[in-house]
Amino acid sequence: MDRPLLSLRTTLVLLLALLAGAAAGGLTALAGESTPHSLLAGLAAVGLAVPFFNRLIDAEGNQDRHVGAGEGENHG
């Protein structure tokens, strides 16, 4: 077993999501909310941050994959 358990990209995405969740939970706790509310806010932030960072850190580096407005039209 020479391969790592997680790829570097997956590890980075999960680490950034956990940091965002910890920040959201910590700020919620500092705002005076109870511990269960803070945990729910942190978990919700993690759930939203994973797809965000997954798309932000593109695996293939293709930024031209998404067709923008005006592409594909004749500009004769």
Spans of all domains in the chain: 8-56
- Region label for 23, one of left (φ > 0), alpha (ψ between -120 and 50) or beta (otherwise): alpha
Distance CA 11, CA 44 (A): 19
Give residue 26's pLDDT.
97
pLDDT level of residue 76 (50, 70, 90 thresholds): low
Contact status, residue 46 vs residue 21, Cβ threshold 8 Å: yes
Give residue 61's pLDDT.
67
- At residue 1, does pLDDT exceed 80? no
Number of neighbouring beta carbons within 10 Å of residue 75:
4
